[in-house]
Amino acid sequence: MKKLILIATALLSLSVSATSLKTQLNARILRHDFDNNSPLASLEIVQSDIKIDFRNDKIVLNFVLPWTCPINALCAFVMPYRQFEVEYLEVETDECNITTFTAERDDRPVDGAFEKITVRDYSRMTCPHIMVYPFVNTSIEFEQKFYDRINGREVQLKHHFTAEKLN
Protein backbone atom coordinates (compact mmCIF):
# COMPACT_ATOMS: atom_id res chain seq x y z
CA MET A 1 0.00 0.00 0.00
CA LYS A 2 2.87 2.37 0.86
CA LYS A 3 4.50 1.66 -2.51
CA LEU A 4 1.25 2.47 -4.29
CA ILE A 5 0.96 5.80 -2.48
CA LEU A 6 4.61 6.63 -3.24
CA ILE A 7 4.14 5.77 -6.93
CA ALA A 8 0.97 7.88 -7.13
CA THR A 9 2.75 10.79 -5.43
CA ALA A 10 5.73 10.49 -7.79
CA LEU A 11 3.49 10.43 -10.87
CA LEU A 12 1.53 13.41 -9.61
CA SER A 13 4.69 15.39 -8.93
CA LEU A 14 6.01 14.55 -12.41
CA SER A 15 2.81 15.76 -14.05
CA VAL A 16 2.89 18.97 -12.02
CA SER A 17 6.54 19.61 -12.86
CA ALA A 18 5.81 19.00 -16.56
CA THR A 19 3.38 21.92 -16.66
CA SER A 20 4.62 25.34 -17.64
CA LEU A 21 6.49 27.15 -14.91
CA LYS A 22 6.49 30.47 -16.75
CA THR A 23 5.27 33.38 -14.70
CA GLN A 24 4.76 35.68 -17.69
CA LEU A 25 3.84 35.37 -21.37
CA ASN A 26 4.69 38.13 -23.87
CA ALA A 27 3.84 38.86 -27.48
CA ARG A 28 4.45 41.76 -29.84
CA ILE A 29 1.24 43.12 -31.35
CA LEU A 30 1.37 43.09 -35.15
CA ARG A 31 -1.95 44.66 -36.18
CA HIS A 32 -4.16 47.24 -34.46
CA ASP A 33 -7.85 47.68 -35.15
CA PHE A 34 -9.08 50.42 -32.83
CA ASP A 35 -12.72 51.38 -32.49
CA ASN A 36 -13.32 54.47 -34.66
CA ASN A 37 -14.90 56.40 -31.77
CA SER A 38 -11.93 55.82 -29.47
CA PRO A 39 -9.25 58.42 -28.74
CA LEU A 40 -6.76 55.58 -29.23
CA ALA A 41 -7.63 55.48 -32.95
CA SER A 42 -5.90 58.82 -33.54
CA LEU A 43 -2.64 57.84 -31.82
CA GLU A 44 0.48 57.09 -33.81
CA ILE A 45 1.83 53.89 -32.27
CA VAL A 46 5.50 52.99 -32.63
CA GLN A 47 5.32 49.59 -30.96
CA SER A 48 2.91 47.64 -28.80
CA ASP A 49 2.92 44.44 -26.83
CA ILE A 50 0.88 42.35 -24.44
CA LYS A 51 2.01 40.75 -21.20
CA ILE A 52 0.14 38.07 -19.30
CA ASP A 53 1.48 38.10 -15.74
CA PHE A 54 0.51 34.98 -13.77
CA ARG A 55 2.35 36.03 -10.63
CA ASN A 56 0.39 39.28 -10.27
CA ASP A 57 -2.77 37.85 -11.87
CA LYS A 58 -3.14 40.49 -14.62
CA ILE A 59 -2.93 41.31 -18.34
CA VAL A 60 -1.06 44.44 -19.47
CA LEU A 61 -1.39 46.17 -22.87
CA ASN A 62 1.44 48.60 -23.71
CA PHE A 63 1.40 51.13 -26.55
CA VAL A 64 4.65 53.03 -27.19
CA LEU A 65 4.08 56.45 -28.75
CA PRO A 66 6.60 58.49 -30.78
CA TRP A 67 9.01 60.71 -28.87
CA THR A 68 8.70 64.39 -29.71
CA CYS A 69 10.73 67.38 -28.58
CA PRO A 70 10.43 70.97 -29.88
CA ILE A 71 13.43 72.46 -31.68
CA ASN A 72 16.02 74.07 -29.35
CA ALA A 73 14.33 72.60 -26.28
CA LEU A 74 15.94 70.48 -23.61
CA CYS A 75 13.82 67.35 -23.27
CA ALA A 76 14.31 64.16 -21.31
CA PHE A 77 14.53 61.16 -23.58
CA VAL A 78 11.63 59.24 -22.11
CA MET A 79 9.44 57.30 -24.50
CA PRO A 80 5.78 58.16 -23.93
CA TYR A 81 3.42 55.25 -23.69
CA ARG A 82 -0.13 54.28 -22.83
CA GLN A 83 -0.62 51.29 -20.59
CA PHE A 84 -3.79 49.40 -19.78
CA GLU A 85 -3.53 47.01 -16.87
CA VAL A 86 -6.45 44.74 -15.97
CA GLU A 87 -6.34 42.35 -13.03
CA TYR A 88 -8.24 39.21 -12.00
CA LEU A 89 -6.87 36.83 -14.63
CA GLU A 90 -8.83 33.72 -15.62
CA VAL A 91 -7.46 30.96 -17.87
CA GLU A 92 -9.56 28.46 -19.83
CA THR A 93 -8.63 25.84 -22.41
CA ASP A 94 -11.36 24.45 -24.66
CA GLU A 95 -11.69 21.08 -26.41
CA CYS A 96 -9.66 22.37 -29.40
CA ASN A 97 -6.76 23.31 -27.09
CA ILE A 98 -7.34 27.04 -27.63
CA THR A 99 -6.29 28.83 -24.46
CA THR A 100 -8.27 31.91 -23.49
CA PHE A 101 -6.88 34.39 -20.97
CA THR A 102 -9.42 36.88 -19.63
CA ALA A 103 -8.97 39.77 -17.22
CA GLU A 104 -11.88 42.01 -16.32
CA ARG A 105 -12.36 45.00 -14.04
CA ASP A 106 -15.58 46.93 -13.52
CA ASP A 107 -15.15 50.29 -11.77
CA ARG A 108 -18.42 51.77 -13.07
CA PRO A 109 -20.11 51.65 -9.64
CA VAL A 110 -17.43 54.05 -8.35
CA ASP A 111 -17.53 56.36 -11.39
CA GLY A 112 -14.83 54.47 -13.28
CA ALA A 113 -14.76 52.33 -16.40
CA PHE A 114 -15.28 48.71 -17.32
CA GLU A 115 -12.22 47.15 -18.96
CA LYS A 116 -11.91 43.62 -20.26
CA ILE A 117 -8.97 42.10 -22.11
CA THR A 118 -9.43 38.71 -23.77
CA VAL A 119 -6.40 36.96 -25.27
CA ARG A 120 -6.85 33.79 -27.33
CA ASP A 121 -3.81 31.63 -28.01
CA TYR A 122 -4.36 29.54 -31.16
CA SER A 123 -0.77 28.25 -31.40
CA ARG A 124 -1.63 24.83 -29.90
CA MET A 125 -5.00 24.41 -31.65
CA THR A 126 -5.74 20.77 -32.50
CA CYS A 127 -9.10 21.00 -34.29
CA PRO A 128 -9.20 21.21 -38.09
CA HIS A 129 -10.31 24.55 -39.46
CA ILE A 130 -10.89 26.24 -42.80
CA MET A 131 -8.18 28.76 -43.65
CA VAL A 132 -10.33 31.66 -44.82
CA TYR A 133 -8.04 34.28 -43.28
CA PRO A 134 -4.29 34.13 -42.64
CA PHE A 135 -3.54 32.08 -39.54
CA VAL A 136 -3.22 34.12 -36.36
CA ASN A 137 -1.26 32.83 -33.38
CA THR A 138 -2.79 35.24 -30.88
CA SER A 139 -5.88 37.42 -31.02
CA ILE A 140 -6.66 40.13 -28.49
CA GLU A 141 -9.92 41.90 -27.77
CA PHE A 142 -9.92 44.98 -25.54
CA GLU A 143 -13.35 46.15 -24.45
CA GLN A 144 -14.05 49.42 -22.64
CA LYS A 145 -17.34 50.78 -21.29
CA PHE A 146 -17.83 54.04 -19.44
CA TYR A 147 -20.50 56.65 -18.86
CA ASP A 148 -20.15 59.83 -20.92
CA ARG A 149 -21.57 62.57 -18.70
CA ILE A 150 -21.51 65.22 -21.43
CA ASN A 151 -23.74 63.22 -23.79
CA GLY A 152 -25.57 61.35 -21.02
CA ARG A 153 -25.02 57.82 -22.32
CA GLU A 154 -22.82 54.79 -21.89
CA VAL A 155 -19.97 54.49 -24.40
CA GLN A 156 -18.85 51.03 -25.52
CA LEU A 157 -15.55 50.59 -27.36
CA LYS A 158 -14.11 47.35 -28.77
CA HIS A 159 -10.56 47.12 -30.06
CA HIS A 160 -9.13 44.07 -31.85
CA PHE A 161 -5.45 43.18 -32.22
CA THR A 162 -3.42 40.32 -33.64
CA ALA A 163 -0.10 39.35 -32.14
CA GLU A 164 2.81 36.98 -32.48
CA LYS A 165 2.90 33.68 -30.65
CA LEU A 166 2.91 34.05 -26.88
CA ASN A 167 6.23 33.05 -25.35
- Domains identified in the chain, total number: 1
Do strands 81-87 and 89-93 pair parallel, antiparallel, or not at all (unpaired)? Answer: unpaired
Instruction: Decide if 7 is inside a domain.
Output: no
96-154 residue pLDDT tens:
999 999 999 999 999 899 999 999 999 998 888 776 566 789 999 999 999 999 999 99
The answer as to whether 126 is a domain residue is yes
pLDDT at 17: 46
Has residue 15 been placed in a domain?
no
Alpha carbons 87 and 53: distance in angstroms, whole number: 9
| In a domain? residue 76 | yes
- Interval 40-98: pLDDT, tens: 999 899 999 999 999 999 999 999 999 888 888 888 877 788 999 999 999 999 999 99
CATH at residue 157: 2.40.160
Distance CA 161, CA 167 (A): 17
- Kindly state whether residue 106 falls inside one of the protein's structural domains: yes
Q: Provide the b/e sequence for 89-115 (b: ≥16 CB within 10 Å).
A: beeeeeeeebbebbbbbeeeeeeeebb
Residues of the domain holding 81 = 21-163
pLDDT of residue 7: 63
- Does residue 2 lie in a domain region? no
Rounded CA separation 67/40 (Å): 17
CA 20 – CA 9 distance, rounded (Å): 19
